[in-house]
């Protein structure tokens, strides 16, 4: 039975991946842009899900790291560097800054931590806006080139969508591996009970900093893809509301679930687009939908599924128990 479930899951996963590859082939420019944006935001949300969902550290700065990655990529590629080099710089830079941002988490927790990261987010925005010698200030950076991957130009929307999708696949595999490694288990130990984790010999200090650094590095990856996707960046998309949006994606999808960010980003990026036919009302409906969902299931979409599965499992278990009991009785 569980074997069948596993096969079904794998088949479903393969079908979704195939659909993501094949269906957009005849999408128009805008549809491909939105879908690419979904892939990019999913990467950023996966980073935040590591920090928040697995390691339990609240961060309101993920948008700032997307900004850092985006500016690193934009500045380097407009100066003639290839995107992979810029990607490495974006990762190293966000990792290092994320590491430093983790230090407050060693002292304060929960809402205090949220506010420190919120302040960092605003500071980063001010730097993007004001240091115009580096970032172009409010005029931003335009004509960001798209890369050549293995000799293929990705200037057109469809090839670049595959770049985003491929990156998402690589990041997903890496995160999948990470949360099953001892590190991932240490992160979860940190979330569930820091004191016990420490007494069991988990270096909570190092893992807290790591949770921030790795999560932020994924934000940087997303940013490095975002810049060539839009081909023009200015400070506005990287203000606090992006951080809040990403946090919303993680919670709405289901914090601490591997697939949570995929669904959360889908709701945050695609749902407003699907609601466009309601014209001026679409963001209002979106806001109401998020609130209703959270009232219904505070653990997000996957929380609903999780509860349903748990219920079914207990039902199945009690059914088995009943059968075993009746057998015992007949044997007597």
Partner 1 sequence: MSTLFDLLVAGLATGAIYALVAVGFTLLWQTSQTINFAQGEFVMLPAFLMLAAMHVGAPFWLAIIIGILLSMILLGLAFKMLLVDPMLRHGVLPLAIATMALAIGIKEAVKQFFSAEASPFPSIVPTGDIRILGHAVALQSVGVLVVAILAVVGLTMLLTRTSLGHQMQAAAQNPTVARIIGVPVERMILLTFLINAFLVALASMLITPIYLAKFSSGEVLGQAAFIAAIVGGFNQVRGAIAGGLLIGVLDNLAAAYVSTQYRAAVPMIFLIVVILFRPQGLLGRAEERTV
Minimal distance in Å, beta carbon 132 to partner 1? Answer: 10
Under rule CB under 8 A, which residues in 223-282 are in contact with partner 1? 240, 244, 247-248, 251-252, 255, 280-281
Out of 14, 123, 153, 310, name the contact with partner 1 by CB under 8 A: 123
Place of tokens 């209703």: 292
Minimal distance in Å, beta carbon 300 to partner 1? Answer: 8
Out of 47, 67, 69, 104, name the contact with partner 1 by CB under 8 A: 104
Out of 145, 286, 304, 306, name the contact with partner 1 by CB under 8 A: 286
Cβ-in-10-Å burial (0-12, 13-18, 19+) of 53 comes to buried
Residue 89 interacts with partner 1 (CB under 8 A): yes or no: no
Nearer to partner 1, 122 or 231 (CB): 122
Minimal distance in Å, beta carbon 53 to partner 1? Answer: 11
Residue 96 interacts with partner 1 (CB under 8 A): yes or no: no
Nearer to partner 1, 288 or 322 (CB): 288
Residue 287 interacts with partner 1 (CB under 8 A): yes or no: yes
DSSP collapsed to 3 states, the chain: CHHHHHHHHHHHHHHHHHHHHHHHHHCCHHHHHHHHHHHHHHHHHHHHHHHHHHCCCCCCCHHHHHHHHHHHHHHHHHCCCCHHHHHHHHHHHHHHHHHHHHHHHHHCCHHHHHHHHHHHHHHHHHHHHHCHHHHCHHHCECCCCCCEECCEECCCHHHHHHHHHHHHHHHHHHHHHHHHCHHHHHHHHHHHCHHHHHHCCCCHHHHHHHHHHHHHHHHHHHHHHHHHHHCCECCHHHCHHHHHHHHHHHHHHCCCCCCHHHHHHHHHHHHHHHHHHHHHHHHHHHHHHHHHHHHHCCCCHHHHHHHHHHHHHHHHHHHHHHHHHHHHHHHC
Minimal distance in Å, beta carbon 185 to partner 1? Answer: 22
Out of 108, 134, 310, 324, name the contact with partner 1 by CB under 8 A: 108
**Cα pseudo-dihedral 277, 279, 284, 285, rounded to 10:** -20
Out of 9, 18, 23, 112, name the contact with partner 1 by CB under 8 A: 112
Residue 309 interacts with partner 1 (CB under 8 A): yes or no: no
- Contact string 3-42 vs partner 1 (x = CB under 8 A): ----------------------------------------
CA distance 199 to 202: 7
Residue 119 interacts with partner 1 (CB under 8 A): yes or no: yes
Residue 138 interacts with partner 1 (CB under 8 A): yes or no: no
Out of 23, 134, 153, 283, name the contact with partner 1 by CB under 8 A: 283
Q: For 298, phi and psi rounded to 5 degrees?
A: -65, -15
CA distance 250 to 246: 6
Residue 139 interacts with partner 1 (CB under 8 A): yes or no: no
The count of residues interacting with partner 1 (CB under 8 A) is 38
Of 119-127, 157-165, 195-203, 319-327, the window that binds partner 1 (rule: CB under 8 A) is 119-127
Out of 294, 304, 305, 306, name the contact with partner 1 by CB under 8 A: 294
Binding site for partner 1 (CB under 8 A): 58, 104, 107-108, 110-112, 114-116, 118-120, 122-123, 126, 129-130, 240, 244, 247-248, 251-252, 255, 280-281, 283-284, 286-288, 290-291, 294-295, 298-299
């Amino acid at each position: 039975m569980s074997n069948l479930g596993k096969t079904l899951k794998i088949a479903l996963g393969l079908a979704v991946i195939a659909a993501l590859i094949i269906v957009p082939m005849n999408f128009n420019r805008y549809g491909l842009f939105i879908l690419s944006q979904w892939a990019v935001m999913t990467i950023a949300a996966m980073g935040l899900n590591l920090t928040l969902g697995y390691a339990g550290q609240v961060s309101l700065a993920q948008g700032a790291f997307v900004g850092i990655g985006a500016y690193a990529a934009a500045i380097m590629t407009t100066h003639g560097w290839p995107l992979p080099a810029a990607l490495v710089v974006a990762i190293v830079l966000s990792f290092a800054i994320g590491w430093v941002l983790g230090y407050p988490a060693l002292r304060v927790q929960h809402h205090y931590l949220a506010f420190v990261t919120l302040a960092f987010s605003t500071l980063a925005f001010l730097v993007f806006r004001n240091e115009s010698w580096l970032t172009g200030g409010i005029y931003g950076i335009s004509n960001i080139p798209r890369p050549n991957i293995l000799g293929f130009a990705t200037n057109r929307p469809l090839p670049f969508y595959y770049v985003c999708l491929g990156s998402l696949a690589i990041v997903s595999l890496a995160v999948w591996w990470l949360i099953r490694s001892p590190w991932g288990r240490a992160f979860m130990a940190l979330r569930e009970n820091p004191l016990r984790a420490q007494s069991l010999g988990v270096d909570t200090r190092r893992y807290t900093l790591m949770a921030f650094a790795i999560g932020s590095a994924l934000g940087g990856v997303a940013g490095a893809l975002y810049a060539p996707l839009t081909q023009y960046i200015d400070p506005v998309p990287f203000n606090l509301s992006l951080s809040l949006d990403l946090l919303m994606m993680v919670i709405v999808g289901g914090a601490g679930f591997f697939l949570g960010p995929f669904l959360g980003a889908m709701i945050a990026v695609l749902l407003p687009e699907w609601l466009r036919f309601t014209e001026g009302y679409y963001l209002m409906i979106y806001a109401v939908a998020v609130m209703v969902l959270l009232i219904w299931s505070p653990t997000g979409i996957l929380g609903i599924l999780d509860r349903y599965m748990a219920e079914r499992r207990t039902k199945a278990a009690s059914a088995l128990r009943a059968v075993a009991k009746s057998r015992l009785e007949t044997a007597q």
